[in-house]
Amino acid sequence: MEAREIEAGTQVLIAAPANPMPAAQSAAIADALSRVAGVEEAHLPYCFIPGVMDEPAQVLVVVTSGGRGTEEILHDVNCALARLLTEDTRLDIIPLTGGSGMLKSVRAVGCQILGARRGARPWWKVWKSK
Instruction: Domain 13-126: give its CATH code.
Output: 3.30.70.1350
Nearest partner of 97 among 77, 67, 56, judged by Cα: 67
Q: What's the rounded Cα separation, in Å, for the pair 117 and 42?
A: 11
Residues whose CB is less than 8 angstroms from the CB of residue 41 and which lie 6 or more positions away in sequence, other chains included: 61, 62, 63, 112, 114, 115, 116
pLDDT at 41: 95
Please state the pTM of the whole predicted model. Answer: 0.84
Q: pLDDT tens, position by position, for the chain (130 residues)?
A: 556 667 778 899 999 999 999 999 999 999 999 999 999 999 999 999 998 889 999 999 999 987 788 899 999 999 999 989 887 888 999 999 888 888 999 999 999 999 976 555 554 545 555 5
